[in-house]
Amino acid sequence: MIFSKPPRTPEYLAHKLISNGLQEISEKELTEIFQSINYYKLRGYTYPYQNNSVPDSPFLPNVKWSYIWNDYNFDIKLRALLFYSISFIETALKTRMTLVSLTKGILWYQNNRLFRSQQNFNSDLDFLRNDWERTSEEFKNHYIRTYPESPNPPAWMIFETSSFDPISKFFKNMKPQLVEKESICNYFGFEKVNADKLATWFQVINIVRNICAHYGRLYSRQLITTPLFVVPQKGNWVSSWPNPNRVYAAICIIKNFLDICNPNNTFLAELKELMKIVRPEQLPSMGFPADWEREPLFS
């Protein structure tokens, strides 16, 4: 099938939504909104309020524009909170990976004997080098000018210029018997035997980070990676994740790690204040249990 739908004007889209039953907003007001927010940006927020099994996806009875606008703005604030919080976790992981150089050498990230999969090692190293090549950090430029005979930067430089994804993959691929990997696990409150579960937590954080960085819809999203449930050794925790692929599981992970990386954080207070604008019937779409505030992690 060839896609053949024509582009639509903001006026057309506003008329379509209101004709399909959207209440408490005028076509003029909605047209103005579509001048600065793409219709498909908002489509993810209108979707839960529409009957999407029939043509034109009419709105369910009594759906108000304020519901959609509330969800949209809630998601903006949630992404901002999580993205800020993840920055502390990312910095901590980079630091712990850098400290491996104290025992394995400043170029340990190039030693394939420290890693389980040669194929993954080569791929992850390419990403690490690409990040290094793309960065315009002054310390990189200084290094290149000063040490032209040493093209490979030390671990503390290359990890600093890298994104979260290749660093988390480097951790995952490290051989399990390495005491340095055990040290990283211990820092984040994990036993060495649960290193692979910790890796899934890092993967989820990376996915959430990327969604936040690119302003994607997060609050009701089904995440593609499933974090494996484990009770960490540090801090308070939750009894379960009703749906590990929803944002609640990621929030639990971020809160737990943030308490380690930035103990004086205000995450809990900000989250509780933000959750006040969420209607109880919306909690399942986010993976939240009804009594989430009574969990030790959030009490």
The partner residues of 206 in beta bridges, in order of sequence, read none
Q: Is residue 134 part of a domain?
A: no
Calpha distance 299→292 (Å, rounded): 9
Q: Is residue 30 part of a domain?
A: yes
Q: Is residue 136 part of a domain?
A: no
Average pLDDT value for residue range 139-161: 96
Copy the structure tokens of residue 144.
């290149």
Per the structure, the complete domain to which residue 285 belongs is given by 71-117+163-298
| Pair 32, 98 in one domain | no
pLDDT band at 233 (very low <50, low <70, confident <90, very high): very high
Copy the structure tokens of residue 29.
């007001």
| Pair 112, 241 in one domain | yes
Q: Is residue 128 part of a domain?
A: no
3-class DSSP state of 279 = coil
Model confidence pLDDT, tens digit, residues 192-208: 999 999 999 999 999 99
Question: How are the residues of the chain apportioned to helix, strand and coil, as percentages rounded to the nearest 5?
Answer: 60, 0, 35
**What's the pLDDT score for residue 21?**
97
Q: Is residue 156 part of a domain?
A: no
Calpha distance 104→81 (Å, rounded): 36
| Pair 92, 226 in one domain | yes
Copy the structure tokens of residue 195.
């290193």
pLDDT band at 189 (very low <50, low <70, confident <90, very high): very high
Model confidence pLDDT, tens digit, residues 26-46: 999 999 999 999 999 999 999
Q: Is residue 153 part of a domain?
A: no
**What's the pLDDT score for residue 187?**
98
Nearest to 271 by CA among 243, 285, 250, 246: 250
Four-residue CA torsion sign, 221, 227, 232, 238: positive
Q: Which residues contact 112 (CB under 8 A, 6 or more apart)?
A: 118, 121
**What's the pLDDT score for residue 185?**
98
Q: Compute the C-alpha angle 116/120/122, nearest 5°.
A: 110
3-class DSSP state of 174 = strand
| Pair 58, 202 in one domain | no
Taking phi over 0 as left and psi of -120 to 50 as alpha, with beta for the rest, 26 belongs to: beta
**What's the pLDDT score for residue 161?**
97
Copy the structure tokens of residue 271.
């989250």
| Pair 97, 243 in one domain | yes
pTM score, two decimals?
Answer: 0.95
Calpha distance 23→68 (Å, rounded): 11
Q: Which residues contact 272 (CB under 8 A, 6 or more apart)?
A: 293, 298
pLDDT band at 98 (very low <50, low <70, confident <90, very high): very high
Average pLDDT value for residue range 148-164: 96
Q: Is residue 5 part of a domain?
A: no
Give the CA distances from residue 132 to residues 92, 163, 270, in Å, rounded to whole numbers and listed in that order: 19, 10, 35
| Pair 96, 179 in one domain | yes
Total domain count for the chain? 2
Q: Which residues contact 100 (CB under 8 A, 6 or more apart)?
A: 108, 155, 180, 184
Q: Is residue 202 part of a domain?
A: yes
Domain-terminating residue out of 63, 79, 108 = 63
| Pair 181, 99 in one domain | yes
| Pair 49, 170 in one domain | no
| Pair 107, 255 in one domain | yes
Four-residue CA torsion sign, 62, 68, 74, 78: positive
| Pair 220, 168 in one domain | yes
Calpha distance 254→267 (Å, rounded): 9
**What's the pLDDT score for residue 116?**
97
Calpha distance 223→163 (Å, rounded): 20
| Pair 179, 40 in one domain | no
Nearest to 257 by CA among 196, 201, 208: 201
What value does the mean pLDDT of the chain take? 96
| Pair 51, 91 in one domain | no
